[in-house]
Structure 1
Amino acid sequence: MATIIKEKQNLTYLQWSHVRSSSGTAGTFLKATSTLDGEKKYYKLSNFDSVKGVIGYECVNEIIVDRLLDIFGVEHLPYELINADIEIEDSIFNTYLCASTDFKKAGESKIALDDYYRTNCEPGESHYDFCVRQGWKNYIDTMIAIDFIILNRDRHGANIEILRNSRAHTLRIAPLFDHGVSLLNSCYTQDDLESFDILADKSCNNFIGSFSCLDNLSLMDPKHKPLRHKLHASDKDIIFGDLHDIISETRIDKTWNMIFERYKIYENL
């Protein structure tokens, strides 16, 4: 299960680089790296505003989805949620940030799926059919199901990666990663939470299929649903048990209702 470090850490030494949001949200996503005892670690912040500081919930979403994927038995990049002081442009901010390690094995290089598709597809071949031809049907169907359940708005072609080892002649698709722009990440106020339609079919930046996560479910064979395990009401405590002092009860309840109601739609296909 994804771990949460609630004791405040001093990470003011990290150097943050700006990565503009590809999802149309206001503000900036910031990333940093560090190497300790030979291990490289990757850090990222929730949506950052230069005046208000960290305003988003993307890092908490990563933990929620991490735990959801554990329940479903889906391979994914694991994240930590860390309470830390950070420094950006000579100002100190306290926030919860995400940390992860590299999913590449020794000797592997990575390439975004959209770039790999462009150099290896057949004429007129759809993104989905290309992945099926590569032997990744179950992976892609699983991704489509998860992205519908969490309403992932940012599954563009670089958020799916191919890992190659030229010397060993191996090729594999990377574990699922980057689920921050999902769930209720666009809700910053109580009014936003109350008005958000958890079943709405919002336009999403999907490389596979269409911009509709709901329509993309039709790409799967309903007789062979990809999620191996069921989601139960009791799983709410597994996912949110130690988040009560980090996000509001309103956000917890609405996020869970969103996950569970959308899961039931998937199950009833």
Structure 2
Amino acid sequence: METIHIPIDAERIISTSSKGDQSKWRIGNKWVKQNARGYEGQAEVLASLVLECSTLDRSKYVVYQPCIIQLADGEQFDGCYSLDFRGTKQEVTLERLFEANFNSTDSITSNKTLSTIEKFELLMKQVEQYTGLVVNHQIAQLFAFDALILNEDRHTNNILFLYDPKEKTWELAPIFDNGLSLLSDEKDYAPSKPLTILKRRVKAKPLNSSFTKQLSLYEGPAFINKEKLVTAIEKSQYDFGRAKDVLLSQLRDPGLKHLFIEGSESID
């Protein structure tokens, strides 16, 4: 496993999630993230492996690699890293996109009079109005992926758009930041508890706390090659720990069967 040395003058960036703060650093063209609440790095690496075994183009998701983070004083931590995908483009989260247009996603996502699909359609309508992009399929597919990996941190600052100021064009950023998935938060999901109990406690974001209801938004074709994924997991020399057990249990969930490409879903 690669060890990434953090120079003494490197800026520690505190990234805030729905669960608290996480330390990360920009080292060259790499973003390096330290585990904060459990095994976020393992979950991040395994989540990107799921996408590598999907029909998504490589440009549509970020690949994470495991690493040891060594500080200048010699202290070491587990974590992961990814390559910077932004280039010269400006990153604009879904939340900031709304704020820039004197609006807020909260007026939609927290509106209890709206159904999940109504919230989704309103958000997508506003996104198209602000950017010209029609990304209904991609965002619904993102929510389906989140249901598979039990991602509890897909808040509106974890859906990202990229703006090219030179060309004045918008695009949906690749899928990133999946660390709070697969029960990686050991403070909330104790390793001593059964997976069946813990999985029922995980809440989805941002439209509904139910993964099933957000999953229902996806009406596209199957996009996960289950057989390829299971083979990749078993052949990997990296120890995914409990993240592997959680994912394998998800692959056996009949409610997710329609996400698996025909001919690959029978693998247990």
The TM tier, using the shorter chain, reads 0.7 to 0.9
Which of 14, 26, 36 does residue 33 from structure 1 map onto?
26
CA displacement at 1:228 relative to structure 2? 2.6
The SS at the match of 2:26 is strand
Q: How many residues align?
A: 236
Query: For 1:253 and 1:165, how far apart are their aligned partners in 2?
Result: 38
Report what 1:101 is aligned to: 83
Q: How does 1:104-115 map to 2 (within 5 A)?
A: 104-106=86-88, 108-115=89-96
Q: 1:212 to 1:45 in 2, by over 3 A?
A: same
Report what 2:153 is aligned to: 154
Query: For 1:72 and 1:113, how far apart are their aligned partners in 2?
Result: 25
TM-score (norm 1): 0.74
Which of 66, 71, 85 does residue 70 from structure 2 map onto?
85
Is the Cα–Cα contact under 8 Å of residues 121 and 130 in structure 1 kept in the other structure? no
Report what 2:115 is aligned to: none
CA displacement at 1:218 relative to structure 2? 2.1
Report what 1:58 is aligned to: 40
Query: For 2:184 and 2:251, how far apart are their aligned partners in 1?
Result: 17
Is the Cα–Cα contact under 8 Å of residues 44 and 97 in structure 1 kept in the other structure? yes
Q: 1:191 to 1:93 in 2, by over 3 A?
A: same
Which of 222, 243, 267 does residue 257 from structure 2 map onto?
267
Per-residue CA deviations over 1:110-130 (Å, capped at 9, x if unaligned) read 111122134287997834433
Is the Cα–Cα contact under 8 Å of residues 117 and 130 in structure 1 kept in the other structure? no
Are 2:239 and 1:239 equivalent residues in the alignment? no
Higher strand share: 1
* Identical columns (%): 20
For the aligned residues, what is the CA RMSD? 3.1
Q: 1:241 to 1:184 in 2, by over 3 A?
A: farther
Q: 1:109 to 1:192 in 2, by over 3 A?
A: same
Query: For 1:171 and 1:162, how far apart are their aligned partners in 2?
Result: 7
Q: Which has the higher contact order (CA 8 A, sep 6+)?
A: 2
Which of 1, 24, 32 does residue 43 from structure 1 map onto?
32
Which amino acid letter does the alignment assign opposite residue 82 of structure 2? S
The SS at the match of 1:30 is strand
Per-residue CA deviations over 1:56-81 (Å, capped at 9, x if unaligned) read 20011111011100101332012221
Gaps of 5+ in 2: 109-117, 260-268
Q: How does 1:193-208 map to 2 (within 5 A)?
A: 193-197=192-196, 199-200=199-200, 202-204=202-204, 206-207=205-206
Q: 1:19 to 1:229 in 2, by over 3 A?
A: closer
Is the Cα–Cα contact under 8 Å of residues 117 and 127 in structure 1 kept in the other structure? no
TM-score (norm 2): 0.74
